[in-house]
Amino acid sequence: MIFSSCGTAVQRDERSAGTATAPGPCGDVVAPTSTSSTIPPVTTTRDPFLWPFASNSPWNTPLGASAQLGGPADARTAAMRQRTGAWVNAGRYSQPVFQASPNDPEATVVATNGPTGERTATLRLPAGAVPALGDDAHLNIVDPTKHWVDEMWQTTGTPPTLRASYRVRNDLYGSGVGAGGTRAYGGSAIGGLIRRWELDAGNIGHALALALTSSQLAPGPVWPATGQDGDAATTYRGTAPMGTLLALPRPVDPTRLRLSREGTVLARALCQFGAYVVDRSESDTLYAEPALEGTTVLRHLRQDIVKLRPLLRPVVNSNSTQVGGLGPRLAPDAPALP
C-alpha cells in the first residue's frame, strides 16, 4: 500500500526568510511567538549562515504533490514503529554554528582525518566558539565571506591551536550533500539543523536531519547519503538505510495531537519537506542549535516529536532525479542566495 503525501500543492516561487506568519501542517496558520531581532528581515535573498545551501539542494527541496509514502508493509515503515524513544539534541551532541568576521583572531586546526592536503587549516575563530558537549564535540565555523563552513568532529584544544579527529570544508552555496562531512551520511553536518530564528518566525523551510538507532538502520546508504558508520555491516540490524527520506503521510491535526505552537511548526516541516536519516543515535533524534538548550521552545519540541515520530513514513519515489517525489511542490522554493 502507498499513501500520497499531505498538503496542497503550490507553484514554486520565492519565499522570504522573515515571513511574519506561516501555514501550519497543511493549511492552519502559525503566528510568530515574538518579533525577536533574530528573525531575518524580509528580503528576496537569504543569509547563507542562517539558511544554507542552494535552492535546489535536497535540504531545501520540498516534497512533490505526487510523493508516494510507504504503507504498513514497507520495511522502512516498520523501522519507525519500533519503540526507540524520540528526542531533540541541542546542548549536547548537536551542531553549533558560529559566524566568523574578518577581525576575529586566526586559529590553526590540525585534523587527524579529512580531505587529503587539508588536514591543517588556518581560519578565523569567533570569541565564544566552542564545540558541542558530548564525545562528538562538533564545531562548525562559517568563514567571513559566508561562502564556506569548516566542520570539525571531536574538537579539542584551545586557541590559537585546535585539534579535530576530522575536518572538512563545505560550500554553503552547494548542495550540502556528496562532498564529505563529519556526519555518518557523508554530507554537511549543518544540513537539517533547527535554528532559533526559524521557530521565532513560525516556519522551517527545509528538510530536517534525523538519526536512528542501530536496530533501525540497514547497511548500504541510499541517495543523498554517500556513507555510513564504519561498523555498519556488523551493527546495523534494521531496515532503513542511511539517507532515507521520511515524511508525515497525511494532514496533521495539531489540536487532536495537542501539539504546541513549536510542535505545529515542526509537523509542517515534516509534512512539506520531511527528514533525511544522517546519523546513528540511541533514540530517534532531531537536531537543534545549542542556543535553544534550556528554553521552553525546546521543551515543547521534545514533547511533540514523541507524538510525531511514529507517524513518519519513507518517501518511496524520492531519488537524485526526482528529489522529494514528483509533482508540484508542497512549499515554495527557498529564496536565492546573494
From residue 50, give the alpha-carbon distance in Å to each of 32, 53, 230. 17, 10, 31
Sign of CA dihedral 278, 283, 95, 305: positive
Torsion of CA 84, 233, 113, 129, to 10 degrees: -10
Quick one: 35 and 154 in the same domain? Answer: no
- Whether the CB-CB separation of 29 and 89 falls below 8 Å is answered with no
* Secondary structure class of 266 (helix, strand, coil): helix
Three-state SS across 140-156?
A: EEECCCCCEEEEEECCE
Return the closest-CA partner of residue 223 out of 323, 81, 155, 117. Answer: 323
- Whether the CB-CB separation of 159 and 105 falls below 8 Å is answered with yes
Is residue 105 one of the residues assigned to a domain?
yes
Quick one: 139 and 25 in the same domain? Answer: no
- Whether the CB-CB separation of 53 and 173 falls below 8 Å is answered with yes
Residue 115: what pLDDT? 83
DSSP code of 201?
H
Return the closest-CA partner of residue 129 out of 149, 103, 108, 159. Answer: 159
Quick one: 74 and 195 in the same domain? Answer: yes
Total tally of structural domains belonging to the chain = 2
Domain residues for the domain of 85 are 2-93+190-314
Quick one: 132 and 79 in the same domain? Answer: no
Is residue 117 one of the residues assigned to a domain?
yes
Residue that terminates a domain, selected from 112, 137, 171: 171
From residue 304, give the alpha-carbon distance in Å to each of 235, 241, 252. 29, 25, 12
Residue that terminates a domain, selected from 143, 171, 199: 171
Q: Which residue numbers in the chain have pLDDT < 50?
A: 1-4, 7-24, 27-32, 34-37
Is residue 248 one of the residues assigned to a domain?
yes
Residue 38: what pLDDT? 61
- Whether the CB-CB separation of 191 and 278 falls below 8 Å is answered with yes
pTM for this entry:
0.90
Is residue 231 one of the residues assigned to a domain?
yes
Quick one: 224 and 303 in the same domain? Answer: yes
